[in-house]
Amino acid sequence: MTAAPDLAAAASVVEQASTVVDAAAARIAASGSIDDHQVLAYELAHAAAAVATARGLLDYGAKGDLEGRITVAFVADAVKNLNAKIFGREAEWGVEPGALDGAREFIGTYAAPEFLAAIDQAGPRHLDGDFELVQDTFRRFAEEKLKPIAEHIHRTNGDIPEEIIEGLAEMGAFGLSIPAEYGGYGEGGEGEYIGMVVATEELSRGSLGAGGSLITRPEILARALLAGGTEEQKHEWLPKLATAEVMNAVAVTEPDFGSDVAGVKVTATPAEGGWLVNGVKTWCTFGARADVLLLLARTDPDRSKGHRGLSMFIAPKPRGDGHGFQVVQEAVDGAPGGGKMEGRPIDTIGYRGMHSYEIALEDWFVPAGNLIGLDGGMGKGFYYQMAGFENGRLQTAARALGVMQAAYEAAKDYADNRVVFGHPIADYQLTQAKLGRMAVIIQAARQFSYVVARLMADGKGAAEASMVKAYVCNAAEWVTREAMQIHGGMGYAEEYDVSRYFVDARVLSIFEGADETLCLKVIARKLVADAAA
């Protein structure tokens, strides 16, 4: 018989952990430099993300016994990990030895193997009826259309079939965040954000590369347009994105500049009727199939201006071959002709189907009307990009949720059926505790995603979006690794989907803001600034 969940104690422990996080932020603020304490700042960011996730789970815990057990188990796990970080390094963290001793009994009770082993499911989502319908609709599509082809696409590095794109377009998947006035299905408010999280999770549960990620790129372009586009540009492009008449890729990263966007070298120089773009972009996912690139380029030759010299363009292009393409621009629609674009595929260990490219542009013409915001958008490209990527971080967390859920279900099914030493491995405490911790982490991450969605709908939550991305994507690596481990030798065989979940999960902490940069430059910076204030 396991202990009953004590939610009041959980709330108290969360506050104790918050005090430690605040102390570390104040410690760095007093030193005056995050860069002098990068290791501490990185650990602080992840600790803060875990504590924020725990706090976001407290209301969920009051909705039932299973929900309560999931909540106290997660709080205990998060605070146990924080205690391990500070042990022996209390001075560095700015706390006294024994700062979390008040949580010792709580951790001992709710992080106990028998308590975790008794949690045999991830629990209900507690979604409203409308969101249950969204979940059912996209789960059915994922089961019927994505799962049957996901492994083939992964093993052959194949293209996403056009019928998948068409099917998602018919369901309105590409217009979930586009306002109805521009041909989409977004109604504003929290429903729009939560609906996107739910749909993305279910599609990613079917396939990260061929499902959940398909709706990310239109989301980023749509948000950039809504942040800075003219009304004419919104009416031109948003309806086409909503119906998949136009599919886009994002061309921001460069070979020498990843998260350091301010250093972008690709240039856009004025020409008659538009701009000529020159330079190289990399990690341009879906770049071949895309009809347009959301392209960040330097319009001010004065490089000392950094990100203030960047502007954002919608650059039309022909569709190219999924395994590399080279096109020469025709002299139509005001283009002088002769511009070149070459896409070199970048092979990856996972996340296949979308395909990523290094794209070289030589005098590639972009019409003047495709500068987002026109003259008013000059030098504001970085901010439009951030408007798109901010929501992209929440969506990436939702993608991680889908991968984790798929891995958990696969591991649970295998454990129930695999017999070792005369018993299904699901009968052994170690397996049960692993599955229990998976279930706890998944539901905590899911509920925090809903919390962040509500904040973003209210015009807030920028820091929390970074936190949920940092926490969930890191957690996905552990969940998929343990799911693979439960499969034993067969987990290393490609005939089981769990090997794909493992390599797919690895990309999640890299794209949409590499984990280190996200933690140091966004999360820790915000925490330290708040502490200094």
DSSP code at position 159: P
CB of 473 within 8 A of CB of 508? yes
Task: Look at residue 313 in the predicted model and tell me its pLDDT.
Answer: 97
Burial profile 56-74: b = 16 or more Cβ within 10 angstroms, e = fewer: bbbebbeeeebbbbbbbbb
Is 61 in a helix, a strand, or coil? Answer: helix
Residue 68 main-chain phi, psi, to 5 deg: -65, -40
In one-letter notation, the amino acid at residue 485 is Q
Measured distance CA(352)–CA(192) in Å, rounded: 28
Task: Look at residue 1 in the predicted model and tell me its pLDDT.
Answer: 64
Known catalytic membership, residue 245: no
Measured distance CA(495)–CA(506) in Å, rounded: 19
Domain 248-376 has CATH 2.40.110.10: yes
Q: How many residues would you count in the chain? A: 533
Closest CA to 99 of 15, 30, 181: 15
Pair of tokens at residue 108? 């001992």
Angle between helix axes 38-61 and 462-486 (nearest 10 degrees) is 90
CB of 293 within 8 A of CB of 317? yes
Closest CA to 494 of 139, 151, 48: 151
Task: Look at residue 259 in the predicted model and tell me its pLDDT.
Answer: 58
Q: How many Cα atoms are found within 13 Å in the side-chain-facing hemisphere of 257?
A: 19
Each of the 533 residues of the chain gets a pLDDT tens digit; together they read 688 999 999 999 999 999 999 999 999 999 878 999 999 999 999 999 999 999 999 999 999 999 999 999 999 999 999 999 999 999 999 999 999 999 999 999 999 999 999 999 999 999 988 899 999 999 999 999 999 999 999 999 999 999 999 999 999 999 988 999 999 988 778 888 899 999 999 999 999 988 988 888 888 999 999 999 999 999 999 999 999 999 999 999 988 765 566 678 999 999 999 999 999 999 999 999 999 999 999 999 887 888 899 999 999 999 988 788 999 999 888 889 899 999 999 999 888 888 899 999 999 999 999 999 999 999 999 999 888 887 888 999 999 999 999 999 999 999 999 999 999 999 999 999 999 999 999 999 999 999 999 999 888 888 999 999 999 999 999 999 999 999 999 999 888 999 999 999 999 998 877 899 999 999 999 999 999 98
CB of 360 within 8 A of CB of 341? yes
Task: Look at residue 60 in the predicted model and tell me its pLDDT.
Answer: 97
Alpha carbon 242 to its chain centroid, in Å, reads 21
Alpha carbon 199 to its chain centroid, in Å, reads 14
Angle between helix axes 7-31 and 38-61 (nearest 10 degrees) is 160
DSSP code at position 188: S
Strands (E), 181-328: 248-251, 267-271, 274-281, 292-298, 310-316, 325-328
**Active site residue: 219, 358, 464, 512, which one?**
512
| pTM of the predicted structure, to 2 decimals | 0.93
